[in-house]
Chains A and B, each alone.
Chain A
Amino acid sequence: MSIAISGAARAARHPKARGGLVRFATEQPLGAVALFLITLFVVVAVLAPWIAPYDPLAQDRVNLLTPPGVGGHPAGTDELGRDVLSRSLYGARTSLLIAVSTLALGGVIGLIVGVVSGYFGGTWIDSVLQRIMDALMAIPSIVLLLFVAALLGPSVRNTVIALSLLVIPSINRVARGEMLRIREEPYVEAARSVGCSTPRILLRYGLPNLMAPLFVMGSLLFAVILIAESALSFLGIGTPPPTPSWGRMLSEGRSQLEIAPWMTVVPGLILSVSVLAFNLLGDAMRDFLDPKQRR
């Protein structure tokens, strides 16, 4: 991950990259909107304790299940009188924490597997690694998550471990495909001919050249993780109470659907908009990076 961060930091400092951001925004207006929404999501998640109107765990006994706007609760309260808006904002915090850790953990493992596999493409190392990835991909995500979460027990750490099993095969696939292409490039051949070691070739020439498609995949995976984390919490095996999480808010709202629809609508809407933003950003980056799509 440190490699990825320093790479991104270098790109950000580079004057051409800054111009790239402006060009990205003009060429992909939807991507710019998505980027704005994601920034908002991150800001809300980080600043939740300062911008939330109430403590997410405080129970307002006078206002149980009040509709939005009543009793000073902008998005209403749940059956314990907890402020739905504050809980939703704190839920962003939980989701961001889990999604970032998952992407870091699964991304690094997936990247290593993919790069090694791609560099040794066609050999037994590649076959063994890829068959394991195929097996991981063959189990539907929620089932795999249920399986791992059931074995490890519900906690934020275990949710991250379970979710990273979803990330590894996808990152692996992208990294391997790119590495298969990169290893045929003249600069890799040149590096090999001057006697660079394999790890050096992978780190110095492989990694930097496959970052672009990985960012696309990372954005799309972020959306997948947000949904999967909520699904786990919805089923009651993800983030344990009392930590506010969107998935558990939805499952709490399920029993009050007809009495207090805001309990379901508000966190679900925020979740969906966040997922939408990451999907849009992924699409926009793909179109932006793919020369075929440019006209």
Chain B
Amino acid sequence: MLLYAGRRLTYGLLVLALVATLVFLIIRLIPGDVVRLQLADAPGVTQAQIDQRTTELGLDEPVLIQFGHFVGGLVQGDLGTSFDDGRPVTTKILERLPATLELGLLAILFGVLFGVPFGLISAIRHHSLIDNVMRFLAVIGMSLPNFWLALLLITFLALWFGWSPPLVYASPTENLSQNLIHMLLPAIALGAATMASIARMLRSSLLEVLGSNFIRTIRSRGASERVVVLKHAGRSSMIPVFTVLGLQVGSILGGTVILERIFAIPGMGSLIFEAVGQRDYPVILGCVIFYGAIFIFVNVVVDLLYAVIDPRIRYEGASA
């Protein structure tokens, strides 16, 4: 198990290194250089100022050396300093990280809390009216863009109940209840698609397992339907659900960017958005790498969870 975990983690780090290389290369490959793009808006910029800024940022050195500096900093957790206020990028990101993680986790929590029971009910009563309604709702849930859902929630809660989410963000340590109220709508808007995907996946995998031979054997021994579904079928049908969760992490992380923007939540999404507006490349680069790191880390954890649920996976991996 430990060996398996080690291998997955190494692989994750390799992909992360590739992500860093890729974004570095993309920035270098674009036409026009970073300094010109950054100073393009400022009036009356002289060539001397451009040259000075270029030297300051070390952009006059060969690309390979620049890449060396970049990698050297990266392994020490140093992503450079922000163009905007000169503070270290890592510090800026770490300040914003908790809000994004909280929003993402709440969305996943919402998705699992409602998606799993919906999937179970759908599978147990398959081809009934309630199953058909739920399946249709699930496809709709997957098709509604999360930002539109958020706007609808805001509009109709305001029009019908006269309730609006708080405008000022409060961190959980300051005021937990206000923080949670603030996070409620974005978490629902973001978690709706996750809920729908989980319900769909759980339904189909549970149906497949329920049709298999070992379930027939268990049924023939007189096990109650509840024991069959929850104890025996449930475990093996959870694996595809974890796959969905791993895949959903990407869209949830992406979704936080846009929802943080709508609900004025000071997370990484707001940070990268501000950085894009200011052409603050070190911050943009740092954010992309951080998002990649979170995604890769979660997927490594999901892989390890597979191995915990299904021991065959770790043995298969060990022999390969």
* Interface pair A146/B145, CB less than 8 Å apart: no
The A122-169 residues at the B interface (CB cut-off 8 A) are 131-132, 134-144, 146-152
Chain B: minimal CB distance from A256 (Å): 10
* Interface pair B158/A258, CB less than 8 Å apart: yes
Q: Is B151 an interface residue (CB 8 A)?
A: yes
Please judge, given known A-B contacts A151-B27, A268-B145, whether A135 and B15 are in contact too, CB under 8 Å: yes
Of the residues B19, B159, B276, contact of A139 by C-beta under 8 Å: B19
Of the residues A136, A140, A151, contact of B254 by C-beta under 8 Å: A140
Q: Is B89 an interface residue (CB 8 A)?
A: no
In this complex, what residue of A is CB-closest to B142?
Answer: A279
* Chain A, interface SS category: helix
* Interface pair B272/A268, CB less than 8 Å apart: no
* Interface pair A283/B292, CB less than 8 Å apart: no
Contacts of A268 in B (CB 8 A): 145, 148, 151-152
Contacts of A140 in B (CB 8 A): 250-251, 253-254, 257, 291, 295
Q: Is A216 an interface residue (CB 8 A)?
A: no
Q: Is A174 an interface residue (CB 8 A)?
A: no
* Interface pair A137/B250, CB less than 8 Å apart: yes
Chain A: minimal CB distance from B7 (Å): 15
* Interface pair B257/A131, CB less than 8 Å apart: no
Please judge, given known A-B contacts A135-B15, A283-B139, whether A237 and B251 are in contact too, CB under 8 Å: no
Contacts of B37 in A (CB 8 A): 151
Chain B: minimal CB distance from A224 (Å): 9
Q: Is B26 an interface residue (CB 8 A)?
A: yes
Q: Is B261 an interface residue (CB 8 A)?
A: yes
* Interface pair A272/B254, CB less than 8 Å apart: no
Of the residues B142, B158, B272, B296, contact of A143 by C-beta under 8 Å: B272
Residue-wise, chain B 287-316 has the 8 Å CB interface mask toward A (1 for contact) of 110011001100000000000000000000
Chain A: minimal CB distance from B117 (Å): 22
Q: Is B230 an interface residue (CB 8 A)?
A: no
Contacts of B185 in A (CB 8 A): none
Q: Is A264 an interface residue (CB 8 A)?
A: yes
Contacts of A257 in B (CB 8 A): 151, 154-155, 158
Please judge, given known A-B contacts A143-B257, A144-B288, A265-B152, whether A138 and B279 are in contact too, CB under 8 Å: no
Contacts of A151 in B (CB 8 A): 26-27, 30, 37
Contacts of A203 in B (CB 8 A): none
Q: Is B147 an interface residue (CB 8 A)?
A: yes
Residue-wise, chain B 246-276 has the 8 Å CB interface mask toward A (1 for contact) of 0000110111011001100000000011001
In this complex, what residue of B is CB-closest to A260?
Answer: B155
Q: Is A234 an interface residue (CB 8 A)?
A: yes
| Alpha-carbon distance A234/B261, docked complex (angstroms) | 10
| Alpha-carbon distance A290/B238, docked complex (angstroms) | 23
| Alpha-carbon distance A150/B18, docked complex (angstroms) | 21
* Interface pair A147/B22, CB less than 8 Å apart: no
| Alpha-carbon distance A91/B292, docked complex (angstroms) | 32
* Interface pair B139/A279, CB less than 8 Å apart: yes
The contact size tier of chain B is 35 or more
| Alpha-carbon distance A147/B147, docked complex (angstroms) | 19
Please judge, given known A-B contacts A143-B291, A152-B30, whether A231 and B276 are in contact too, CB under 8 Å: no
Contacts of B284 in A (CB 8 A): 146-147, 150
* Interface pair A261/B273, CB less than 8 Å apart: no
Chain B: minimal CB distance from A271 (Å): 6
In this complex, what residue of B is CB-closest to A256?
Answer: B155
* Interface pair B151/A264, CB less than 8 Å apart: yes
In this complex, what residue of B is CB-closest to A231?
Answer: B258
Q: Is A202 an interface residue (CB 8 A)?
A: no
In this complex, what residue of A is CB-closest to B150?
Answer: A254
Of the residues A141, A149, A254, A276, contact of B250 by C-beta under 8 Å: A141
* Interface pair B254/A143, CB less than 8 Å apart: yes
| Alpha-carbon distance A72/B86, docked complex (angstroms) | 55
Chain B: minimal CB distance from A197 (Å): 32
Of the residues B21, B143, B154, B255, contact of A279 by C-beta under 8 Å: B143
* Interface pair B148/A271, CB less than 8 Å apart: yes
* Interface pair B253/A143, CB less than 8 Å apart: yes
Chain B: minimal CB distance from A157 (Å): 13
In this complex, what residue of B is CB-closest to A220?
Answer: B142
Please judge, given known A-B contacts A146-B276, A147-B284, whether A235 and B144 are in contact too, CB under 8 Å: no
Q: Is B23 an interface residue (CB 8 A)?
A: yes
Contacts of B295 in A (CB 8 A): 138-140
* Interface pair A135/B152, CB less than 8 Å apart: no
In this complex, what residue of A is CB-closest to B276?
Answer: A150
Q: Which of A223, A250, A254, A283 has the most CB of B within 10 A?
A: A254
3 closest cross-chain pairs (CB), A and B: A142-B254, A140-B254, A135-B18
- Interface residues, chain B, CB within 8 Å of chain A? 14-16, 18-19, 21-23, 26-27, 30, 37, 139-140, 142-145, 147-148, 151-152, 154-156, 158-159, 250-251, 253-255, 257-258, 261-262, 272-273, 276, 279, 284, 287-288, 291-292, 295-296
25 A-B pairs in the complex with CB atoms less than 8 angstroms apart: A135-B18, A138-B15, A138-B19, A139-B292, A141-B250, A141-B251, A142-B257, A143-B288, A146-B257, A147-B26, A147-B276, A150-B284, A227-B145, A231-B258, A234-B258, A258-B155, A261-B156, A264-B152, A268-B145, A268-B148, A272-B140, A275-B145, A276-B143, A279-B142, A279-B143
Known pairs A237-B276, A261-B155; list 12 more (Cβ under 8 Å). A135-B21, A135-B22, A135-B292, A136-B22, A138-B15, A139-B291, A142-B255, A144-B288, A146-B272, A146-B276, A147-B26, A250-B148
